[in-house]
Structure 1
């Protein structure tokens, strides 16, 4: 396989094609080029809601990851903004799961990104999700405090609840969320979801 890659130029030395018999010299750079198809996303447009000198706010569509990760490189919010609007560099202030849509704030320089990071750590910036759920959600505020166990290999999470009777250990990381009903028609409910912690898939796993 490596022989054919050298012959067709996918393996190069210092940016140049070389024969299979070529002996690599000290400090030379070997590059191996691969063609990879990214998984498709259901939306390509990333609407810009507000653009300032050091901050840009966009509407992130569902199915599009925030930044390059896993199999995604170009089909990301950062990738789209760079390709379609020439916005670079960009520093995501926070992230939304790939399947989640919503407001996304990105800094346009490292100094502003660091300032946002400090404000988030100090609790001055908070996230609030709004979800539509099946059924009539309880009228009183609900606080759910469990562990979320994220499986990076499978890309999914499960909520883990401890059992003090059998002494079993709880997997995952602690996750606390406050849920408040905004409205309901008896069939569906609109619910405010305020995460106290920030865990991957936290909100969707607690319903």
Structure 2
């Protein structure tokens, strides 16, 4: 089951639980898209972006082909603002700024960040110390590459807790959450925020107090793109 954040005549926004694959997994069960279609009794449903299996949080589905095409253009033109939360038990090489570089396939389905910038993955971030060995990252991707955020944090020495694929420390889940979305659709502004509900570390009181201060992440003073 998942939480429905918004129902629009053209699209639906839901809060994806962690550890659910986007696609059907045969005998292992239905993927997220099939579950949303069944739970909402929809005859048509079109994915317009995706989240990794370990990632929880906000995701949009279009209810018709025309809407799917519109969202496709919005994503292509980077007109949908996305904000993520991540936790790490490692101290990063820098506390805020820009992580930029081309991405290339590595071993066993992983990716790596290169020093070149021909078609780079671009991620802006702030980090906040919650307590010893626990740091919160507020992430804003400016591109949509596979595993982009996971690779970005790994590249600065702060792999996401629970992300075994990128050397993250063991945890009860992968601590990456799609926290907020903001976009214009048919001349109307839409803002969605959903705080993480799963995972013991996301229940930390100091972390919740920090999120209460952030409130609307698009109002934060992001480092300037260079």
TM-score by length of 1: 0.62
Tell me the distance in 2 between the aligned counterparts of 1:83 and 1:92: 14
- Aligned partner of 1:97 in structure 2 is 52
Sort the Cα spacing of 1:85 and 1:185 in 2 relative to 1 into closer, same or farther, 3 A.
same
Q: CA RMSD in A?
A: 2.8
More helix by share: 2
Offset at 1:105? 0.8
Count of equivalent residues: 152
Tell me the distance in 2 between the aligned counterparts of 1:119 and 1:175: 18
Q: What does 1:148-159 align with in structure 2 at a 5 Å threshold?
A: 148-150=103-105, 154=108, 156-159=109-112
SS at 1:127 equivalent: strand
Q: Identify which of structures 1 and 2 has the higher relative contact order when contacts are C-alpha pairs closer than 8 Å and 6+ apart.
A: 2
Tell me the distance in 1 between the aligned counterparts of 2:29 and 2:43: 14
- Aligned partner of 2:80 in structure 1 is 125
Tell me the distance in 2 between the aligned counterparts of 1:72 and 1:161: 38
Contact 1:136 1:185 in 2 (8 A): no
Structure 1 runs not aligned, ≥5 long = 1-44, 163-169
TM-score by length of 2: 0.58
Contact 1:74 1:80 in 2 (8 A): no
Tell me the distance in 1 between the aligned counterparts of 2:38 and 2:138: 34
Structure 2 runs not aligned, ≥5 long = 154-226
Sort the Cα spacing of 1:139 and 1:174 in 2 relative to 1 into closer, same or farther, 3 A.
closer
Larger radius of gyration: 1
